Structure 1
Amino acid sequence: MLKKIGIIPLRKGSKSIVGKNTRKMVGRSLFMWVLGEAIFSKLEEVYVFTDDIDLIEFINTEYAWSPKVKALLRSKETATDTASTEFAMEEFSKSIKHDYDVLCLLQATSPLTTRNDINNCLNKIEKEGFDSVVTVVNTHRFTWNTKGSPTNYDVFKRPRRQDFEGLLIENGAVYSTTKNAFIASGNRVSGNIGLVEMPGESLHEIDSESDWLIVEQLLMERQKKQKESKKITHLVLDVDGVFTNGTVFYSNVGEMAKQFDMRDGMGLEILREQGIEILVMTSEQSDIVTQRMKKLKIENVYLGVKDKYALLNYLLKEKSLAMGNIAYMGDDVNDLANMCSVGWSLTPNNATTIVKQHADVILTKGSGNGAIREGCEFIMKYNKRF
């Protein structure tokens, strides 16, 4: 069995889009999209290789639930604008004493990469014997050179699209190589090179603000197309802006109070009586939330979660559930990835505009004012058909 590891090289500085790698795309930092897919792929370890010390601390805390994820500091020399990716890969390989059989380079600027794409690349090496693999997209565009001559078709015999084989273009998403091939060539691809095709939309890389907008929309639409309607067995809830109206009272000693609606608690109790499990997932650390959930007898409470989508995927895998079994209620952008993916997404009527644009159900009640109770009633009525 070959030891397969992944590397996601990240630089702290970015000139094209400031803070690109940690900027929120569909509510998740950009790098989280490929990291999350790598976690659930056949890779045995996934390294975030970065010059950002704060990011290393963040990853070690946020992904403690996954033994696969590791963060490693790269040198300043490999993180300059002029340093090649191969330079960083060589430094990384030496730093772990070349302890792998297959090295998979994953690019954070290709957030449409899926675990299946990664696995297809690994299979090309492990099962088909290729030395390295690169992902490509088959485009049916006609290409020309600077001299005004077509390079892939005859202008007097213009082929129909269905008769045109097209042109394979490297999409910069995934590169895999054996250790021997990489050490011998010093290049991400060498030797007998295999190709793995990815969908056309994966050709978009993020190098400008317009790229960002296009890819973000593509991601949301992809997640929505994968939605399935099944019996709801679990309800996942955000806290601030869902349980509460979003207001927090502070004093000089810190957080003092949050306001909760007692009717919401009764709705959740009725759902539990019908066998529906309740989970709470919030990005905040709060003793008040801990005490309130204890009072409501909700055992599955996850505090301080910054990558809610990855954690939800992990919990589904542990419980052998599908996204279609989940109802999710959130109110802000950090809930967006989950809301675009679960069987049913619900949001209070005073949620942020972008969340209401993508929620399946906009409730008539506001957060902290009966929205959860209304959501519980929706779920009970919906489940009757099953």
Structure 2
Amino acid sequence: MKKIGFIPLRKNSKGIPNKNKRKMVGRPLFTWVLGEAIFSNLDEVFIYTDDQGIIDFINKEYHWTNKVKALLRSSESATDTATTETAMLEFCDKIDYNFDAFCLLQATSPFTTRGDINTCLEKLTEDYDSALTVVNTHRFLWNTEGEALNYNPKNRPRRQDFEGLLVENGAVYAVTKQALQANKNRLGDKIAIVKMDEDSLLEIDSESDWIAVEQLLINRQQCAKKSAEITHVVLDVDGVFTDGTITYTKDGEHTKGFDMRDGMGLEILRQFNVKVMIMTSENSELVARRMEKLKIENVYLGVKDKYSLLQNIIIEENISISNVAYLGDDVNDLTNICSVGWSLVPNNATDVVKANADVVLSKNSGAGAIREACQFIMTYNKRF
């Protein structure tokens, strides 16, 4: 059974400008669900958008997987009045319904996990032609006439005794090709429900919503941390190896300063069988040369979605994210910092990163921070 994911994105957003591309915990919002879709049981994942910038981003960023594709949607299917089904059916016609199962994923649902996606897909192998995600809410509902809808106000139940209601959270919808063709709708006639956490009911329609969702995501990532031996260290470059500044010559060339003691620290760390990797958003020849000098083989340049790439590395290396230590300094490192076994940041890192790191080093970037981090990791690993 060929299973495809479909993530519709529009260039314009009414409530929050550029919402889909805005960084949520340091990552573009839409990459939260895209990353989970990549590592789910979907065979292909399509981004369908009228934003050429997003298409260029997809083509450049996800070269390490063959599952992700981006297609340009028509302006007619991206208007304020166009329904999601309009975009779905337009897309299906473009690919000639070349799938057996279709999974609609909403970019504004960053709490979606690969497990939620897989569970919805599994329902299609049972006696259902479609599935959707819901949240069990324990809110007491009323209508405008002052009438209670889901409980007796004169016999108010305790929360733990109250079944509540199942509410659609708009995160995941799965449907068979036959049901989609017959109903022209994301849902068929025999619908399964898949429960998600109550946090996923939050909608991102305002700045206050954004702040709340971002903090919940940070908490979720941090709560999943576990103690384990550090076998891999991943480092950013600018603001970690260097002090974050670039010096330009009169000819336009630029230079970066590296601390020799940091290089020695990494060399010693590797002698203790800790694998060192570099992950930076810069695509710099200077960085490539420095890492070659340090004999660091795993160097990833020009990376914007660092968390998804880290997830791929974890699978390839057959390790847990708890086996990873991460050194970063700015907001684009934030998701990794909140997620890995140990996160360490230089003393001059940005405030938001320092507030969420496990360890704030006493040394500044480019001035011994990496060497200090290496010593911390070696000391920590002694317990294993």
What band does the TM-score fall into relative to the shorter chain?
over 0.9
Following superposition, the deviation at residue 250 of structure 1 comes to: 2.3
Aligned letter for 2:233? L
Structure 1 equivalent of residue 6 of structure 2: 7
Which residue of structure 2 lines up, in the alignment, with residue 317 of structure 1? 315
Q: 1: distance between equivalents of 2:119 and 2:271?
A: 44
Matched residue, 1:68: 67
> What amino acid maps onto 2:229 in structure 1?
K
**Cα drift, residue 254 of structure 1:** 4.3
Cα deviation for residue 61 of structure 1 reads: 1.1
SS of 1:205 mapped into structure 2 = coil
Identify the residue that residue 331 of structure 2 maps to in structure 1: 333
- Cα separation, partners in 2 of 1:182 and 1:234, compared to 1, 3 Å: same
Match of 1:95 in 2: 94
**Structure 1 equivalent of residue 300 of structure 2:** 302
Question: Which residue type is aligned with residue 45 of structure 1?
Answer: E
Distance, in Å, in 2 between the alignment partners of 1:263 and 1:125 is: 57
One-letter amino acid of the structure 2 residue matched with residue 110 of structure 1: S
Report SS of the residue matched to 1:145.
coil
Q: 1:182 aligns with which of 180, 183, 195?
A: 180
**1:203 corresponding residue in structure 2:** 201
Residue 27 (structure 2) aligns with: 28
Cα drift, residue 58 of structure 1:
1.3
User: How far is 1:162 from its partner?
Assistant: 1.9
What SS does the aligned partner of 2:186 have? coil
Shift of 1:251: 3.9
- Map Cα deviations across residues 316-368 of structure 1 (whole Å, 9 max, x no partner): 00110101100000000000000100000000000000000000000000000
Structure 1: runs of 5+ lacking an equivalent: none
Per the alignment, residue 284 of structure 2 pairs with 286
The answer to whether the Cα contact below 8 Å between 1:339 and 1:359 also exists between their aligned partners in 2 is yes
What code does the residue aligned with 1:19 have?
N
User: How far apart, CA to CA, are the structure 2 residues paired with 1:131 and 1:207?
Assistant: 31
Distance 1:219 1:253, change over 3 A: farther
Instruction: List gaps (5 residues or longer) in structure 2.
Output: none
Corresponding residue of 2:191: 193
Distance across 2 between alignment mates of 1:111 and 1:365: 35
Instruction: Give the partner amino acid of 1:192.
Output: K
**CA RMSD of superposed structures (Å):** 0.8
**Is 1:43 aligned to residue 42 of structure 2?**
yes
Could you list the structure 1 runs, at least 4 aligned residues long, displaced by more than 3 angstroms after superposition: 251-255
* Counterpart residue number, 1:378: 376
What amino acid sits opposite 2:73 in the alignment? Answer: R
Give the equivalent residue in structure 2 for 1:125: 124
Give the match's secondary structure for 2:269: helix
1:362 maps to which of 360, 363, 367: 360
For residue 142 of structure 1, report the CA deviation from its aligned partner: 0.8
Contact 1:248 1:255 in 2 (8 A): no
Spell out the pairing of 1:81-92 with structure 2 (5 A cutoff).
81-92=80-91
Q: Distance in 1 between matches of 2:69 and 2:251?
A: 35
CA distance in 2: counterparts of 1:254 and 1:159, whole angstroms:
72
CA distance in 2, matches of 1:274, 1:368: 23
Q: Deviations over 1:243-295 (max 9, x none)?
A: 00001112465442100000000000000111111000000010100110000
TM-score using structure 1 length: 0.98
**Residue matched to 2:272:** 274
Separation in 1, partners of 2:271, 2:299:
19
Query: 1:265 corresponds to which residue?
Result: 263
Deviation at 1:15, TM superposition (A): 1.5
Corresponding letter in the other structure for 1:275: N
- Answer whether contact 1:38 1:46 (CA < 8 A) is retained: yes
**Structure 1 residue 151, shift from structure 2 partner:** 0.7
CA-to-aligned-CA distance 1:60-119 (integer Å, 9 cap, x gap): 110011100000110000001110000000001111100011100000110010000001
Q: Distance in 2 between matches of 1:185 and 1:214?
A: 37
SS of equivalent to 1:168? strand
Change (3 A) 1:254 1:326: farther
Structure 2: how far apart are the matches of 1:133 and 1:247?
Answer: 51
CA distance in 1, matches of 2:120, 2:161: 28
Deviation at 1:208, TM superposition (A): 1.1
Select the residue among 133, 158, 164 that pairs with 2:162: 164
SS of equivalent residue, structure 2 residue 128: coil
Compared with structure 1, are the counterparts of its residues 322 and 251 closer, same or farther at alpha carbon in structure 2 (3 Å cutoff)?
same
Q: Tell me how far apart the structure 1 counterparts of residues 379 and 158 of structure 2 sit (CA, whole Å).
A: 51
Going from structure 1 to structure 2, the CA distance change for 1:270 and 1:141 (only over 3 Å counts) comes to same
**Identical aligned pairs, as a percentage?**
65
Q: Distance in 1 between matches of 2:150 and 2:210?
A: 30
